[in-house]
Structure 1
Amino acid sequence: MTFSELLLNIGSLAFVFIAVGFCIFSHELGHFLAAKWRGLHIDAFSLGFRPIWKKKVNGVEYRIGWLPFGGYVELPQVDATDATPKAADGTELPRAKAIDRIITAVAGPLFNILSGLLIACFVWYVGMPQDTPKMREITVMEVEPGSPEYQAGLRPGDKIVKLNGEPFFSTWSNFVSKILFAIGKVDLEVIRDGKPVTVSYVPVDNPKAPGSLGAEKIAWPFFTPLIPLELTPEKGSVAAKAGIKPGDYIVAIDGTPVQDYAEFQSGLDQAGSRPVRLTLRRGGKNFDVTVTPEPIKDLGPEFSRYLTGIQLGPKADKPGIYIHAVMPDSNALAAGLRKDDRLVAINGKPITDPAVLIDTVQELKTAPFQLTVERDGKQETRELSARLITPHTIGATIASLDHPTPFQQFISTIDMSYKSLRGILVRFGNQLGLTDQTSTLKPTHMSGPLGIGMVLFNSVRYSSFIHGIYFIVIISFALAIFNLLPLPVLDGGHITFGFIEIIFRKPLPTVVIKTLSMIFVTLLIGLMVFVTFSDGRRLWRSIAPPPGEEQQAVPSAPAATPNPSPEKTDAAAAP
């Protein structure tokens, strides 16, 4: 690990603590200010945990802790389990009025929503990078034979124009999310030979989902889309001088189709500083331009790799690891390697997963090696070597930006939380025989504080700062939504008890509240243990991934960490 990588890791970890701490602190600040307004007794208000400094002012002890995980406020009069509330010094206090408890409980989630909306304004202004442009139709490039989609009749070349009867205008990841959250079968309306055709199927777990998602047993589609990659050339760049205009779509590099950003960048890197032929699409017509990539300046040696010029990938109907594509003007092409060759061994060492080839090539650097492949049922051995490939650019970006309004971000979090909870409950009900409906979402897809930290860390470390800011918005909104659930020990439970007291003009018996609180505390602790175990498995896979599995952040269903009550709270919830 280089010094720059160490600094990035430390900075990303610090961002996690600050982000989660801010979300929890804003929640507790809401409780504190509401309690002040309603004249309730406050024992302490703390920023962080394990105090290293504290001072009492007007009866309230203000604390600063050395653990920056948020904060808490101690409000004994809001605790519904005590018939006679007591201050920290043992002084008996009058029980707070129901309306005061309701206002104090509501204030925590309300401040999360307000702070989330405030930060969401920044996301709205700057814009969120998208994985793909937004599309009104998705062209199917490949469909895995034997998959539910293939058996239902989906074929390469089909253009998907509706999902479950509704037109869409979304990125590929958002389109996939609609499938993941679907209940029961999925209906795809496609255009084939100019005529509409409906393809209906029930999603199933896809062990070949990209990266670590395969281990999550998630219902990733078994078909590959043709993603339009829209170029935006920088002023004065080689792309602009070659005549590339904003809105042009990249189709191929030197005749090799380009499906995603990784293939686009790989093609430029392989070409180095030699001219390349780009096939572009403008106004529905394809045309070619020739550009000469330039090295990307100010990048350290850790961004360079030894590559042979092949792209790897599995074949749906055959075991093993195959060559998915051979890059033009590469050592692999010169050695006679072809698409669909199955990799057998490198220097006599069996290639059981891509990591064997990748790691061996990096160790050998430019030294020649023997690569054994299987072609048409016969094994052949080819000698080749790798080249040191450094990142190159033509001065054109393909990252699309979206500018969701703060309220769109809020509604999106509510929608995701609702669909996640609905999907998990439907699956649970199906397993108990209570419903015929099906869902691919599982409790193992939920995530807690550890999972939140992993997503935040990966978003800042491997993606962009704006992604980290966006996840703060989601966490703030999710924390509010989770705490408003009408369950004992949550803010929603205090609100519910308060309204019951107002309606019936007397509080619930203390023994009932204590019993309900104990039951739900036990259930929530059990949930915490469960989701932390699931998060721990994800963390272990990211540290020591199984052979062939890429390290990748895992999206999770909304979930998990409860924020117990306004009298002393120190946890968070997240989608």
Structure 2
Amino acid sequence: MRMARRRHAGRPRVTMTNLLWFLILIGVLIFAHESGHFLFAKLFRVKVLTFSLGFGGAIRLGRFRLAFTRGETEYRISWFPIGGFVRMLGEDPTQEVDPAERQRSFSHQAAWKRALIIFGGPMFSLLLAPPIYFAYHLTLSRAAAPVVGLVIDGSPAAQAGILPGDAVLRVGGTPTRTFEEVEDAINDSEGRPVELEIERGGEKRALRLAAQPAIDETGLELLGRQWDLGIRHERRGTILGLVSPDSPAARAGMKGWDELAAVNGVPVLDFEEARRELEKAKDSPLRLSLRRRVEIPCGAVTLNATAVIDVDLQPLPAEQAPLGAFRTAHAYFGFEPIDLFVREVIPGYPAEQNGVVAGDRILSANGEILTSIEQFRNVLARHPRDSIRIQVRHQGEVREFSFVPAIIEDKDELRQTQRIRGLGFKPDANRVSGLTIPRPDRLAYAGRMAFVEFGRTVRMNVMGFVRIFQGRVAASEAVGGPIMIFHVAGKVAEKGLGAFLAMMAFMSILLGLLNLLPVPLLDGGHLAFILIEVLRRRPLSLQARLIASYVGLALLAALMIFAFGNDLRRYWSDFFG
């Protein structure tokens, strides 16, 4: 039992913990980036005047100044923490350099040396990611066992007869030790027919089937086309909905969103286990143990608790089950998994316009009986702009209507806008984790995934840039500033150190790629100037470089204002109520 104050649901708190994670994140990213410039400058004996984490003057705390000088370089931490710089002798084209020090001036170095000093920053940002990914994957001591937890009805796996609990031994002749290896092998098949060897009840079976394109509800395909057989490692949970107010379950005292914990005294962890126990009972009376969430008002606070209750249920004959309702070979119980029950209706979309309310159950689409939200999304993906005939059960009554999938806009937990085609309702996640095993070859796995994740993240970020330029992603949604980074750092850190490390690696790659854009004042702009110099065999005029720098400064200032405005729009209520 826990106590929770009455306050606006979902409103995050701005805490010192968030600030700490934010400073750790940007501190590591900036230090790595600027170290690339610094080390290459030192390698070529260029005089480094300042190494700064942050912009502006050094932070002063009374008489204490966060800066020190070692040799010819001042190292400092400055007030504005969203960037950093390495200032070198001769870097400013308007600066006069003592002839005695020209040999150590940045501007007097060969073009290839200057290019490497500039490229060192983005390179170190990119190179930081693989070690972080390695550390993250090294923490994953458990792996998903190659055991099917859920089969999506209508999928290639369902049509081939694969069942929950089947162990996948081989895909295309390749042994599969983990479910990740199963998914990788299926994806590598690129839709071509592939041999699967499965084991069920000690008996091995060989199947031949072809994967179908995986659904990308965003339509962005940032990782390219993916492939799916319709098997999942997660298992269907035991949160239940009621078929009708006069069903056997309702008469026994069950309520929607009760969680089934045991059948006739036998604990059940997922719905397949529950199904087996219900099959054993045939049409005999049942004793069901349920977990129910309750809120208990208590003065100024509300106690959120889970009550455990027992109910006695008398099933009806299976043939009395209504359309689409769960039943066994012998009995109908009046409850079914919550997967396709409506938890919340999103205002302004087809669900609300057609009278769908919370508690309704989506039964079928275009004549296909639905058993999971994934199956419903498959139907939507096949008919993104067509009229779809749908059946919905409300309080035991079935009604039909047609709708054209609408583009649904919603915010995720990081306040990013998600756009998917749908009916306009939110279901409940009714999934429990699948079986796990000790991760085989953990060190080798971490080493391989360090580079696999690096490649995926680079591709995802590059395709993200492409989608922005194509207009498929609005810049107002993709661009964020320091407030967004602050929010994301805190949110992700709540999930654990591993998630924070993975996010840090992602951000480091993004920082490296952003700095390679050919915009004056960014590293990519400086590299573009050097390339032009090499092609022309002489540098651009000082006036041309100054004009380009002013243009770049204006662009960056406009981008910062734009990003800060987006942050205020997203997070205003977090800071100002």
What TM-score do you get using the length of structure 2 for normalisation? 0.52
SS of 1:405 mapped into structure 2? helix
Classify the secondary structure of the residue corresponding to 1:322.
coil
Q: Give 1:498's aligned residue.
A: 530
Which residue of the partner structure matches residue 23 of structure 2?
A: 17
**Structure-2 residue corresponding to 1:507:** 539
Give the match for residue 34 of structure 1.
40
Aligned counterparts, 1:16-165, within 5 A: 16-48=22-54, 50-52=58-60, 53=65, 54-65=67-78, 71-79=84-92, 81-82=93-94, 84=96, 95-97=107-109, 98-127=111-140, 139=152
Query: Quick one: which of 556, 559, 570 aligns to 1:524?
Result: 556
Partner residue in 2 for 1:453: 486
Structure 1 residue 516 displacement after superposition: 1.7
* Separation in structure 1 between the aligned mates of residue 36 and residue 557 of structure 2, nearest angstrom: 25
RMSD across aligned C-alpha pairs, in angstroms?
Answer: 5.5
**1:535 Cα offset (Å):** 2.4
Matches of 1:32 and 1:478 in 2, distance apart?
Answer: 20
Amino acid at match of 1:477: I
Are 2:190 and 2:227, in contact at CA under 8 Å, matched by a contact in 1?
Answer: no
- The percent of aligned pairs where both chains have the same amino acid is 21
SS at match of 1:30: helix
**Counterpart of 1:323 in 2: which secondary structure?**
coil
Shift of 1:515: 1.4
Q: Secondary structure at the match of 1:121?
A: helix
How much does 1:58 deviate?
A: 1.9
Report the Cα distance in structure 1 between the residues aligned to 2:226 and 2:131, rounded to whole angstroms.
Answer: 38
Counterpart Cα distance in 1 of 2:272 and 2:40: 58
Give the superposition deviation at 1:64. 3.8
- Aligned pairs for 1:314-333 (under 5 A) are 314=345, 315=351, 317-319=353-355, 321-324=357-360
**CA contact 1:253–1:278 (8 Å) conserved in 2:** no
Query: Displacement, 1:272?
Result: 13
The CA deviation string for residues 406-447 of structure 1, in whole angstroms up to 9 with x for no partner, is 2222222221222222222222xxxxxxxxxxxx42112212
Render the CA deviation track for 1:111-145: whole Å, top value 9, x for unaligned. Answer: 112221111111222249999x999998479xxxx
Q: Given that residues 32 and 125 in structure 2 are in contact (C-alpha distance below 8 angstroms), is that contact kept between their aligned partners in structure 1?
A: yes
State the alpha-carbon separation in 2 of the partners of residues 129 and 256 from structure 1. 36
Aligned length in residues = 376
- What does 1:418-457 correspond to in 2, within 5 Å? 418-427=462-471, 440-449=472-481, 450-457=483-490
SS in 1 for 2:394: coil
In the TM superposition, what is the alpha-carbon distance from 1:543 to its structure 2 partner?
A: 7.2
Q: Is the 8 A contact 1:275 1:291 kept in 2?
A: no
Q: Residues 233-252 of structure 1: CA distance to partner in whole angstroms, max 9, x if unpaired? A: xxxxxxxxxxxxxxxx3364
**CA 1:16–1:167: 2 relative to 1, 3 Å:** farther
Cα deviation code 1:6-58 (max 9, x no counterpart): 99943233112111121011111111111111121222123456333333222
Q: Cα–Cα, structure 1 residues 407 and 521, in superposed 2: closer, same or farther, change >3 Å?
A: same
Residues 253 and 276 in structure 1, CA contact (< 8 A), matched pair in contact too? no
Task: Give distance in 1, aligned partners of 2:360 and 2:476.
Answer: 32
Q: Could you tell me which amino acid in structure 2 is paired with residue 414 of structure 1?
A: V
Structure 1's 99 and 77: CA in aligned 2 closer, same or farther, altered over 3 A? farther
On the 8 A contact 2:53/2:83 being kept in 1, the answer is yes
Larger Rg: 2
The residue type paired with residue 477 of structure 2 is: H
What's the secondary structure of 1:120's corresponding residue? Answer: helix
Aligned to 1:408: 452
Question: d(CA) in 1 for partners of 2:573 and 2:159?
Answer: 36
Report the equivalent of 1:390: none
2:106–2:114 Cα contact (<8 Å) kept = no
Q: Which residue of 2 aligns with 1:304?
A: 304
Q: Which runs of 5+ in 2 are unaligned?
A: 6-10, 161-182, 195-213, 244-255, 279-286, 294-300, 310-337, 346-350, 363-391, 397-430, 440-444
1:340 aligned partner, one-letter code: H
